[in-house]
Structure 1
């Protein structure tokens, strides 16, 4: 049994991993910024996890999350920086400054803060593994309209690889790559319904639902904890295979 902390675990792939880890008998703490949503998830999980309100752009709040989790469960084995936000698909110069700042502060500064808190505490306890979550842009691929989001995720990949050279003995870091998962994050920001419909054709080939990806990621989050680990759901081989078999596979991930 491991003790795992997941930021941004009140919805999407984060919540899916929280649920899967609990089902496997692990101790889990998570956070969100919406107090009402936090209370809703806490109730839905029946108090099995520590679910609290915390803003990842505030290092003190993440330090409090670590302390609360450690007080309830004891030493923390795995910390997952999962919290992330996206933005409307617009050219950089049309994106409001406040929106750009929110994306960068959550996706990059939030990971910096979470990593600093977790690694300092893990160094003190002499064990632990940190995972950072990849996303579009992590592999260097560029998509028009998602420049700020993609840049934030590209930076997270560099950050994590650099951290792997800094961690002390007993502590390790790695990257989790969930691929395309059908959540609000994937479909966010399409102003034109026709553009969204076009994108959904690709999503129906490459994407998967949370309940498909979350169990796979959750298992590996507690078993693949070596320094420099890179766990990918949507590999290049899988992408090629899905496009090759797309005419034979009828998938509608967006059906009601």
Structure 2
């Protein structure tokens, strides 16, 4: 068990994908976890599954609340629920996000564009606006982590204008908060999972099977499964000590190594795990 023992961690968007994987790994490292998702059913399912990690009759390790992160009132309710259940919050992870089918910006509806911005940028800002004062009010302070993604460091690909713009903005927002946090009792960090096989990734190619098959080769070189990435992310975010820390899975040396060995390895990150077949 690592340095996470007893810490209370909130993971927004923790009912599926990377968020659910993080919740599972944090519990495995002794944390108590609070998850949220948009629907009560999704939250209930996630909590039921995660609760089993403590074993029958074990202590409560997880709770959750249906939350729309685009509403600051609901995000505040999530904080209040976490404190009411576990007494405090030590780590807040702004993970909730969404994407949109790839395509030229003029072909993306105004409603879809607004939803991506509201979830990926406004939702993160709401999480920061609620968590920062809450953490600061605690004698021990705490950690705030924002999830990066494609576009965060200025990458560009056709058809990803909306998603990439929001992730670029989240990185700017986080950099600003890192500066603001200097000398305080709250530390701010960046989480960068790289390319992970989730429904968020495949949703980019909804209705575009040919484009997906074309991109699949690169994904299978550079990408990984949730269960590969999230243990590493959980371990490193719990061990972080310095304000402004960046926990990044897919580093430049790793990218170079993957391409150099691609011809000698066969990978399919989208195939069902062996135990699920």
Is the 1:173–1:225 Cα contact (8 Å) retained in structure 2? no
Match of 1:217 in 2: 233
Partner of 2:20: 15
Flag the 1:196–1:138 CA change in 2: closer, same or farther, 3 A. same
Mapping of residues 101-116 of structure 1, within 5 Å? 101-116=114-129
Question: Which stretch has the larger CA shift, 117-126 or 133-142?
Answer: 117-126
Are 1:254 and 2:270 counterparts? yes
Per-residue CA deviations over 1:161-207 (Å, capped at 9, x if unaligned) read: 11111125111101000000000111113232121111110000000
Q: Secondary structure at the match of 1:45?
A: helix
Deviation (angstroms), 1:24? 1.3
Q: Does 1:179 align with 2:207?
A: no
| CA distance in 2: counterparts of 1:170 and 1:34, whole angstroms | 33
* Range 45-54 or range 134-143, more displaced: 45-54
Q: How does 1:61-76 map to 2 (within 5 A)?
A: 61-76=74-89
Task: Check conservation: 1:176, 1:231, Cα contact below 8 A.
Answer: yes
Superposed structure 1 runs of 4+ greater than 3 Å apart: none
Distance 2:91 2:18 in 1: 17
Q: Which moved more, 1:64-73 or 1:148-157?
A: 64-73
**Residue 135 in 1 paired to residue 140 in 2?**
no
Q: 2:166 — aligned with what?
A: 152
2:35 and 2:43 in contact (8 A); partners too: no
Which of 184, 204, 207 is the matching residue for 1:169? Answer: 184
- Paired residues of 1:77 and 1:129 also in contact (CA < 8 A): yes
TM-score (norm 2): 0.90
- 1:7–1:83 CA contact under 8 A, matched in 2: yes
Which range moves more in the overlay, 205-214 or 180-189? Answer: 180-189
Aligned to 2:136: 123
Q: CA RMSD in A?
A: 1.1
Is the contact made by 1:174 and 1:225 (CA closer than 8 Å) also made in structure 2? no
**2:248 equivalent in structure 1:** 232
Structure 2 Cα separation of the partners of residues 94 and 84 of structure 1: 21
Per the alignment, in what secondary structure is the counterpart of residue 9 of structure 1?
A: coil
1:45 and 2:50 correspond: yes
Q: Is the contact made by 1:9 and 1:83 (CA closer than 8 Å) also made in structure 2?
A: yes
Task: Give SS of 1:85's match.
Answer: coil
Residue aligned with 1:145, SS:
coil
Q: How does 1:178-197 map to 2 (within 5 A)?
A: 178-190=193-205, 191-197=207-213
